[in-house]
Amino acid sequence: MGINVLLIDDSAVMRAMVLKSLQMSGVPLGAVHQAANGADGLAVLRQHWVDLILLDISMPFMRGDEMLEQMRADSALAALPVIVVSSERGTERVARMQELGAVHLPKPFTPEQLRDVVRDITGVRQ
Amino acid sequence: MSVSLQKSLYSAAVYTFERVAFLVPDIPPDAAQRQLPVEAVASITFSGPARGTLQLHAGDGLLPLITANMVGMDEPDEALQLDALGELANIICGQFLPALDSVSAFEHKPPEVFTGEAFSVDPPAVLSARAEIGLESSRADVLLFLYPDSRSES
């Protein structure tokens, strides 16, 4: 059985690229959901079972760091694994998200790098 | 213009075009590539240890090419093409900024994308580096503008 993934990025191009990388990485995929900002992402989480979130930071309406803060404060969502996919490096926002348990994967990345991070954070091998 | 900044800008741009858009850059662009008009510009402002703007200028014909390579779609619509240009600029910016200061972090805003050659940068910012790159039958220019008083020389 594959893992259910939620891709959150305001760029449709980035969502397509992350999905393509996931498909090439060999990670077993289940349902793939998409959202264009943190608020829409939270709405998806209320409706669907998700095993892993790939989350951008800078987005309109609700940023990734704001969404992560809300998730960690919600007992139903607090333990969900989150990978922060962003070109930001070393910023306070990235550090804060890492403190909240997210793993940072800087752009650009290869499918192999993505696979390794997914394996580390979910424990899923094949 | 600073030679070291120029070198870092080329390095960030080439790396990004190769890794993200799967295009092998020609440096310098040939005469035909240089004559192509600019079709769109993606602009990103950043702040932190230095303040400025990075612009990615796309020559005629580049947008469908990069978008097709990035998302695997043959005929992407205009919105997706402009989105792709903004994302490339975003990644080039993230790759380049540590060359300005590798210790302190930068904050950069989401890319703004304009069609045509109409764009502006606040007058105090000066052109500090430029990378001109040929990409198949088109071209891209990456321009770095810095506010002179915002950067502490290290």
CATH number of A3-122: 3.40.50.2300
Q: Which CATH architecture has domain B3-150?
A: 3-Layer(aba) Sandwich (3.40)
| Segments making up each domain of chain A, as ranges | 3-122
Comparing CA positions, the residue from A21, A92, A90 lying closest to residue A63 is: A92
Residue A22 identity: L
- What is d(CA B31, CA B29) in angstroms, rounded to the nearest whole number? 7
Can you give the pTM of this predicted structure?
0.90
Mean pLDDT of A14-40: 94
Residue B119: per-residue pLDDT: 62
ipTM metric: 0.85
Mean pLDDT of B93-120: 84
- What is d(CA A17, CA A34) in angstroms, rounded to the nearest whole number? 12
B153: confidence class by pLDDT, cuts 50, 70, 90: very low
- Flag whether pLDDT at B104 surpasses 90: no
Beta carbons of B125 and B150 less than 8 angstroms apart: no
* CA–centroid distance for A124 within its chain: 15
Q: Which residues in chain A touch residue B98, judged by CB atoms under 8 angstroms apart?
A: 89
User: Does the beta-carbon distance from B97 to A20 stay under 8 Å?
Assistant: no
Q: Which residues in chain B touch residue A87, judged by CB atoms under 8 angstroms apart?
A: 90-91, 93-95, 108
| Segments making up each domain of chain B, as ranges | 3-150
Task: Look over chain A and give the mean of its residue pLDDT values, rounded to a whole number.
Answer: 93
As beta bridge partners, residue A124 has: none
Residue B97: per-residue pLDDT: 92
Q: Return all residues near B40 (Cβ < 8 A) that are at least 6 apart.
A: B57, B58, B63, B81, B82, B85, B113, B114, B115, B116
